[in-house]
């Protein structure tokens, strides 16, 4: 993935990002020499979100299979969450 400085982004704006995403698939935006942001197109972002949801579902299924869950009423659940804060 290509690195782009915030200064370059300020000079060329969104057209720079369009070019980079089209050619490279994405870019890392650096600020003062440090990686700060990642720019990808919406299709890549949506795929990333799907992967996150699939990972969360797999974790939930694993927790259910291992018995790592609590059965309680809504009121008890709210109380338990508030007590954790």
The predicted structure's pLDDT at residue 40: 93
33 and 8 Cβ atoms separated by less than 8 Å: no
Per-residue pLDDT tens digits of the chain, which is 85 residues long: 788 888 988 899 888 888 888 888 898 999 999 999 999 999 999 999 999 999 999 999 999 999 999 999 999 999 999 999 8
Residues 26 and 48 in one domain: no
Query: Which CATH number do you get for residue 8?
Result: 3.40.1620.10
Considering the domain architecture, whether residues 25 and 50 belong to the same structural domain is answered as: no
Given this model, what pLDDT does residue 53 score? Answer: 98
Asked if 44 contacts 20 with a C-beta cutoff of 8 angstroms, the reply is no
Same structural domain, 23 and 55: no
Report yes or no on whether pTM surpasses 0.75: no
- Answer yes or no: do 17 and 33 share one domain: yes
Q: What domain range is 59 assigned to? A: 43-84
């Amino acid at each position: 993935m290509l690195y782009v400085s915030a200064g370059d982004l300020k000079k060329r704006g969104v057209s720079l990002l369009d070019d980079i995403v089209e050619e490279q698939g994405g870019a890392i935006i650096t600020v003062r020499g440090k990686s700060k942001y990642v720019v990808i197109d919406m299709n890549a972002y949506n795929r990333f979100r799907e992967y996150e949801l699939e990972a969360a579902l797999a974790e939930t299924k694993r927790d259910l299979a291992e018995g790592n869950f609590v059965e309680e009423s809504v009121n008890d659940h709210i109380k338990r969450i508030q007590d954790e804060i």
